[in-house]
Amino acid sequence: MVQGNKYDSLVYGAGPRDQADMCLKVNARYTCPRCNIPYCSLACYKSEGHMTCSESFYKDCFMEGLENQDVSQDEKKKMLEMLERVEQEDQDFLDSDDDEEDLHERLAGLDLDNDAEEIWNRLTDKEKEDFQKMTADGRLGNLVEVWTPWWQVKDNKIQEVGKDSSKSSNLPNIVKDIPDIATLLKNSKPSADLKNNVINILYAYAFVCRLHNGDHMTSCVESAKDLLAVSEVLDQNVVCTSGPQAVQYCMKQIQQNPALRVPQDFQASVIHDVIALLKGPSNSEPLKFVLCALSQVHDIICKCQRTERKDSKSHNGEGHSVLDRKMLSGLKKKLKFLLGWTERFGMALHSLIPELQLEYCAVQSDLSEQGQTQEAVEKNLPNLRRKSPGKPLIQELA
- Could you tell me the CATH number of the domain that includes residue 48? 3.30.60
Based on the domain organization, do 59 and 117 belong to the same domain?
no
Domain termination residue (choose one: 100, 129, 144): 144
- Give yes or no: residues 176 and 278 share one domain: yes
Per-residue pLDDT tens digits for 43-75: 776 676 666 776 666 666 655 655 555 556 666
Residue 384, domain member (yes or no): no
- Three-state SS at 255: helix
Domain contains 101: no
Say yes or no: 129 and 42 in one domain. Answer: no
Query: Based on the domain organization, do 40 and 185 belong to the same domain?
Result: no
Chain mean pLDDT for the chain? 78
Q: Is residue 269 part of a domain?
A: yes
What SS3 class is residue 191?
coil
Number of domains in the chain: 3
Query: Is residue 201 one of the residues assigned to a domain?
Result: yes
CB contact set of 352 (below 8 Å; sequence gap of 6+): 195, 196, 199, 243, 278
Indicate whether 79 belongs to any domain.
no
- Cα separation, 265 vs 360, in Å, equals 10
Q: What is the dihedral of CA 180, 181, 185, 190, to 10 degrees?
A: -170
pLDDT attached to residue 26:
63
Does a structural domain hold residue 94?
no
Q: What is the pLDDT of residue 172?
A: 96
In this predicted structure, what is the pLDDT of residue 396? 64
Same domain? 136 vs 271: no
Which three-class secondary structure state does DSSP give residue 314?
coil
Q: Which amino acid is at 21?
A: D
209 and 356 share one domain: yes
Q: Give me the average pLDDT of each 10-residue run along the chain (398 residues).
A: 43 49 66 76 71 66 57 63 62 53 75 72 82 71 82 66 51 95 89 97 98 92 95 96 98 94 92 98 96 98 80 47 82 97 97 97 88 67 58 61
pTM of the full predicted structure?
Answer: 0.61
- Is residue 388 one of the residues assigned to a domain? no
Instruction: Please tell me whether residues 242 and 324 are part of one structural domain.
Output: yes
d(CA 286, CA 281): 7
122: Cβ contacts below 8 Å, ≥ 6 apart? 106, 107, 110
User: Which residue(s) pair with 27 in the sheet?
Assistant: 19
Q: Which domain holds residue 287?
A: 172-369
Q: Kindly state whether residues 248 and 292 are assigned to the same domain.
A: yes
Q: Is 262 exposed, middle or buried (0-12, 13-18, 19+ CB in 10 A)?
A: middle
Q: Is the dihedral of CA 139, 142, 144, 148 positive or negative?
A: positive
Residue 188 lies in a domain: yes
Phi, psi of 282 (to 5 degrees): -165, 170
| Neighbouring C-beta atoms of residue 134, cutoff 10 Å | 14
Q: In this structure, are 285 and 191 located in the same domain? A: yes
Asked if residue 199 and residue 297 are part of one domain, the reply reads yes
CB 278 within 8 A of CB 289: yes
Give the closest residue to 248 by CA, choosing from 231, 224, 226: 231
Q: What Rg, from alpha-carbon coordinates, does the chain have? A: 35
Provide the phi-psi class of 221: left if phi over 0, else alpha when psi is between -120 and 50, else beta.
alpha
Q: Are residues 179 and 32 in the same domain?
A: no
Which residue blocks in 69-193 are alpha helix, DSSP H?
73-106, 116-122, 125-137, 139-143, 181-185
In a shared domain, residues 202 and 113: no
Dihedral, 115, 332, 256, 264 alpha carbons, nearest 10: 80
CA 340, CA 342: separation in Å to the nearest integer? 5
Query: What is the structure's pLDDT at 20?
Result: 63
